[in-house]
Chain A
Amino acid sequence: QSALTQPASVSGSPGQSITISCTGTSSDVGGYNYVSWYQQHPGKVPKLIIYDVSNRPSGVSNRFSGSKSGNTASLTISGLQAEDEADYYCSSYTSSSTLDVVFGGGTKLTVL
């Protein structure tokens, strides 16, 4: 089971918006609305920021939003702030027989 495909890096300036893509297949991203996104600062624990494609947990800024089209899910961060600089991982339920959850390889967000 291959990991979901994410760009290795994205960058943006403060105040701008960026989008991170997460591409899978009809067996995972495209087939179920169980895509989640996690933010991980260096040396820190991953933090859930989006679940079920587009829902935000309580306390997560509304600058973070999620969507899905076909086999590709997207995380958009609007009004970029320096504190958003981190690694971002997507995950999805998968109908694979070898595992239940598959992660993306991660995207490093740099705030210029």
Chain B
Amino acid sequence: QVHLVQSGAEVKKPGASVKVSCKASGYTFTTYDVSWVRQAPGQGLEWMGWITPYNGNTNYAQRLQGRVTMTTDTSTRTTSMELRSLRSDDTAVYYCARGGTHRSGWSFDYWGQGTLVSVSS
């Protein structure tokens, strides 16, 4: 049974950084890419980027380039997403999701439970 379990909610001040982790189980970790999608309160879904666990390749949304870094640790089956220079409009629920690349037809078949990141002074 596939599970993606994310780290807990975070409260940050503007300008700070946040790192959200996503631990996978129930499938061969290096076989599937992991993507990150965020959802601001009351808003829609926004694609942030993806990482390939077996080689660490990444691709990020251009609007987040320079502020976001995705990493993976195959020994712990964990993917992490760090967002820097936080602004109030980064307040959102951040989801990790399996897939979201050409290897999975650009769809996300399993999702983490979400991590609320609140940015406020």
Chain A residues with a Cβ under 8 A of chain B? 3, 32, 34, 36, 38, 45-48, 51-52, 57, 89, 91-93, 97-106
Beta-carbon contacts under 8 Å, B96-115 to A: 97, 100-102, 105-109, 111-114
Instruction: Say whether, besides A36-B106, A46-B108, A102 and B44 are in contact (CB < 8 Å).
Output: no
6 CB-based A-B contacts, threshold 8 Å: A36-B108, A38-B45, A45-B112, A46-B45, A101-B100, A103-B46
B105 touches which one: A46, A47, A51, A97 (CB < 8 A)? Answer: A51
By the criterion CB–CB under 8 Å, are B62 and A46 in contact? Answer: no
Chain B residues positioned under 8 Å from A34 (CB to CB): 105-107
Chain A residues positioned under 8 Å from B106 (CB to CB): 32, 34, 36, 91-93, 100-101
In the bound complex, what is the Cα–Cα distance between A47 and B107 (angstroms)?
11
By the criterion CB–CB under 8 Å, are B107 and A52 in contact? Answer: yes
Chain B residues positioned under 8 Å from A52 (CB to CB): 105, 107
Nearest CB of chain A from residue B15's CB, rounded to whole Å: 25
Nearest CB of chain A from residue B84's CB, rounded to whole Å: 19
A57 nearest in chain B by CB position: B109
By the criterion CB–CB under 8 Å, are B113 and A3 in contact? Answer: no
In the bound complex, what is the Cα–Cα distance between A108 and B45 (angstroms)?
14
Chain A residues positioned under 8 Å from B44 (CB to CB): 3, 89, 103-106
In the bound complex, what is the Cα–Cα distance between A50 and B100 (angstroms)?
14
By the criterion CB–CB under 8 Å, are A45 and B45 in contact? Answer: no
By the criterion CB–CB under 8 Å, are A103 and B108 in contact? Answer: no
In the bound complex, what is the Cα–Cα distance between A100 and B114 (angstroms)?
21
By the criterion CB–CB under 8 Å, are B108 and A106 in contact? Answer: no
B97 nearest in chain A by CB position: A46
By the criterion CB–CB under 8 Å, are B63 and A98 in contact? Answer: yes
